Amino acid sequence: MCICINCRHIHNCNTYYFIKKQHNKSLIDEKMSFNPTSTIINVNINKKKQLVFIDWDLIECLSFVEKPGNWIN
């Protein structure tokens, strides 16, 4: 699971914006103002019959500041 959903920086983070783009979420092309440090993104590739599913998750970030549920706003 992506740790971004409980981070204070979710609404202006370049890395979270990148991950959302990889999930093919339709986004307004805007500049994010926060560049986190030392991030690790985990990419899982799963195949079911002829379909390939790719899941992107941020699993480590030194800029993470916990704020549970911040993604809801």
Per residue in 2-52, pLDDT tens? 898 899 999 899 999 899 888 876 666 667 789 999 999 999 999 999 999
Q: What is the pLDDT of residue 24?
A: 77
Is position 71 within any domain? no
How many structural domains comprise the chain?
A: 1
Is position 73 within any domain? no
Q: What is the pLDDT of residue 26?
A: 64
Q: What is the pLDDT of residue 40?
A: 96
Q: Which residues make Cβ contacts (< 8 Å) with residue 41, sequence separation at least 6?
A: 15, 19, 56, 57, 58, 59
Is position 72 within any domain? no
Domain extent for 52: 3-66
Of residues 27 and 55, more confidently modeled: 55
Is position 32 within any domain? yes
| Whole-structure pTM value | 0.78
